[in-house]
């Protein structure tokens, strides 16, 4: 069975759209089973799409707070992509569009938001309602930093995939 939503249209199993904000194109994916998803959760997901820039800024600020922990996923991601011996080091360097004097901050601010996965059936506090996938020089590197947030935009998980 499927349901109709004002923003997503016919909700069945899978919805995808490229959304532009700033100078980025972000793939936004909605994976929902119409039989188990609440209309209110779909409304929250639609609002989240409309506020991608705000949520992106909040997540990047949260990443900065993890710079103090040497074992955080953010630090592991940065250590990998900023390694001068990385095969794609030149591409990564070219992707860093800022030069504030703090290379880690510049790298975090220069990351591309690649994809947002919305899971409106995960609508309990602490559930991974949305995942934001970031990369630095994503066309050239496979390393990703993924942040999951719950329905109330609290971070429930940050992981490094590489």
pLDDT in tens, 109-157: 999 999 999 999 998 889 999 999 999 999 999 999 999 999 999 999 9
Distances (CA, A) of 108 to 23, 39, 81, 136, 146: 16, 34, 11, 8, 13
Going by C-alpha positions, the residue among 152, 162, 124, 132 that lies closest to residue 59 is 132
Other CB atoms within a 10 A radius of the CB of residue 15 amount to 18
Global pTM reads 0.93
pLDDT value for 128: 96
pLDDT value for 112: 95
Report how far residue 18's alpha carbon sits from residue 140's, in angstroms, rounded to the nearest whole number: 20
For residue 37, the number of C-alpha atoms closer than 13 Å in the C-beta half-sphere is 28
Report how far residue 20's alpha carbon sits from residue 61's, in angstroms, rounded to the nearest whole number: 21
**Local structure of residue 68 (DSSP, 8 states):** G
**Local structure of residue 103 (DSSP, 8 states):** H
CA triplet 115, 118, 124: central angle to 5 degrees?
140
pLDDT bin (cut points 50, 70, 90) of residue 1 is: low
For 6-18, the pLDDT digits (tens) are: 999 888 768 899 9
């Amino acid at each position: 069975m499927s349901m109709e939503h004002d923003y997503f249209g016919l909700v069945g199993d899978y919805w995808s759209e490229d959304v532009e904000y700033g100078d980025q194109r972000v793939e936004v994916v909605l994976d929902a089973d119409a039989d188990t998803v609440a209309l209110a959760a779909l409304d929250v997901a639609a609002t989240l799409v409309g506020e991608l820039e705000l949520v992106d800024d909040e997540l990047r600020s949260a990443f900065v707070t993890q710079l103090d922990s040497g074992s955080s996923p953010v630090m592991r991601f940065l250590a990998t992509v900023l390694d001068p011996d990385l095969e794609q080091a030149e591409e990564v360097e070219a992707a860093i569009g800022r030069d504030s004097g703090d290379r880690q901050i510049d790298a975090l601010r220069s990351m591309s938001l690649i994809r947002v996965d919305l899971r409106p059936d995960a609508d309990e506090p602490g559930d991974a309602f949305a995942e934001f996938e970031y990369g630095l020089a994503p066309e050239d590197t496979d390393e990703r930093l993924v942040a999951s947030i719950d329905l109330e935009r609290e971070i429930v998980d940050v992981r490094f995939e590489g």
